[in-house]
Amino acid sequence: MAKTTKANVYEIITQRIMEKMESGVIPWHKPWGVAGAAKNLISGKEYNGINTFLLGSAGFSSAYWATFKQIQEKGGTLKKGSKSEIIIFWRKLDSKNENSEPGEITEDGQKSRSVLRYYRVFNLSQVEGIETEEDTKKIDFVPLEKAEQIIRNYKTCPAIQHVEQKAYYSPGNDLINLPEKSSFHGVEEYYSTLFHEAIHSTGHRTRLDRDKIEAVAAFGSNSYSKEELIAEIGNSFLCAEASIDGVFDNSIAYIQGWVKRFKDQPRMIVQAAAAAQKAVNYILNADHA
């Protein structure tokens, strides 16, 4: 009986991807926990308006925010180097006090009866000594040795950090950022996300120099879409190497989302799979010394 080579295994996975996609749309889910709407730690009240965007896009793992004073009153301390975020609000003026601070001037030349102010707040993940129910939802992260070995084999692997609650590879800084390990739904999802970003990193000009990855910045463009296909198919290959199979359907769903724009879908997937295999070989140190 002929021995199955790794190349054949990757071909089998590619075929499975296409067959799965033909079976219908699979819903994609974010593999790490979503903190939920930003809210104040003390009152529990959700922020609204522009504050929802300001705090939601800050990239922190907790939904809770508090001022420095509130943190002190709760017995917490800020972690070294923590930086605050700004939230804004309108403060109503005292109409009975003529000496009260003037409001903004409206279009008709009249003074408004409120003035724009701001607070500085910190995310609970920047604080030590305060716990919430969020802490009980985090997974007990136990590393997978096969997955760890794959990353160790990646001799030129960029720095891996867990600073922002986002997953991305930065070509300019040549680093991978991932959400906190304990915020993922499972250990397998963490490594799947890491593999995805690691495949991206192989495209750097100092490695495989793939399609000028540093210039692929337009979200949703054809170049961006192709790179996402390469990264996710490469992730599927690496998951197979690490004996991780519980995230396959989510990978298919992710690929479905990006392949929609291409008319010749099978051809695009095969092309992306070839580039992904090259990236995987690079990470595994299989075709270079």
Q: Are residues 175 and 197 in the same domain?
A: yes
Q: Are residues 147 and 11 in the same domain?
A: yes
Domain count of the chain? 2
Q: Are residues 104 and 165 in the same domain?
A: no
**Residue 223 covered by a domain:** yes
Domain edge (last residue) among 96, 131, 166: 131
3 state SS of 166? coil
Q: Are residues 25 and 54 in the same domain?
A: no
**Residue 216 covered by a domain:** yes
Domain edge (last residue) among 85, 109, 131: 131
Q: Are residues 171 and 100 in the same domain?
A: no
The pLDDT value given to residue 105: 40
Q: Are residues 240 and 149 in the same domain?
A: yes
**Residue 169 covered by a domain:** yes
Q: Are residues 53 and 181 in the same domain?
A: no
**Residue 25 covered by a domain:** yes
Are the C-beta atoms of residues 12 and 142 closer than 8 Å to each other? no
**Residue 69 covered by a domain:** yes
Tokens of 236: 């599927």
Reported pTM: 0.65
The pLDDT value given to residue 36: 62
* Amino acid, single-letter form, for residue 289: A
**Residue 289 covered by a domain:** no
Residue 152: burial class (beta carbons within 10 Å; 0-12, 13-18, 19+): exposed
Instruction: Give buried/exposed letters for 238-254 (b at 16+ CB in 10 A, else e).
Output: bbbbbebeebbebbbbb
Q: Are residues 212 and 271 in the same domain?
A: yes
Report the 3 state secondary structure along 210-247.
CCCHHHCCCCCCHHHHHHHHHHHHHHHHHHHHCCCCCC
CA dist 12 and 245 (Å) reads 14
Domain edge (last residue) among 104, 131, 158: 131
Q: Are residues 262 and 147 in the same domain?
A: yes
Q: Are residues 171 and 47 in the same domain?
A: no
Tokens of 263: 């008319």
The pLDDT value given to residue 251: 82
The pLDDT value given to residue 100: 43
User: Helical H runs in the chain?
Assistant: 6-22, 50-56, 68-73, 145-153, 187-202, 222-241, 248-259, 265-283
Domain of 275 in residue numbering reads as 6-32+139-283
The pLDDT value given to residue 7: 65
Q: Are residues 127 and 154 in the same domain?
A: no
The tens place of each residue's pLDDT in the chain, 289 residues long, gives 445 566 678 888 788 777 777 776 666 666 766 556 788 888 888 888 888 777 877 777 788 889 999 999 989 999 999 999 888 877 766 555 444 444 444 444 455 566 677 889 998 889 989 877 665 566 778 999 999 999 999 999 999 999 887 889 999 999 999 988 888 888 999 999 999 999 999 999 999 998 767 665 445 566 778 888 899 999 999 999 999 987 877 888 888 877 776 666 778 888 889 999 999 999 998 654 3
Q: Which residues contact 258 (CB under 8 A, 6 or more apart)?
A: 225, 228, 229, 232
**Residue 179 covered by a domain:** yes
Q: Are residues 187 and 59 in the same domain?
A: no
Tokens of 283: 């990470």
**Residue 288 covered by a domain:** no
* Amino acid, single-letter form, for residue 44: G
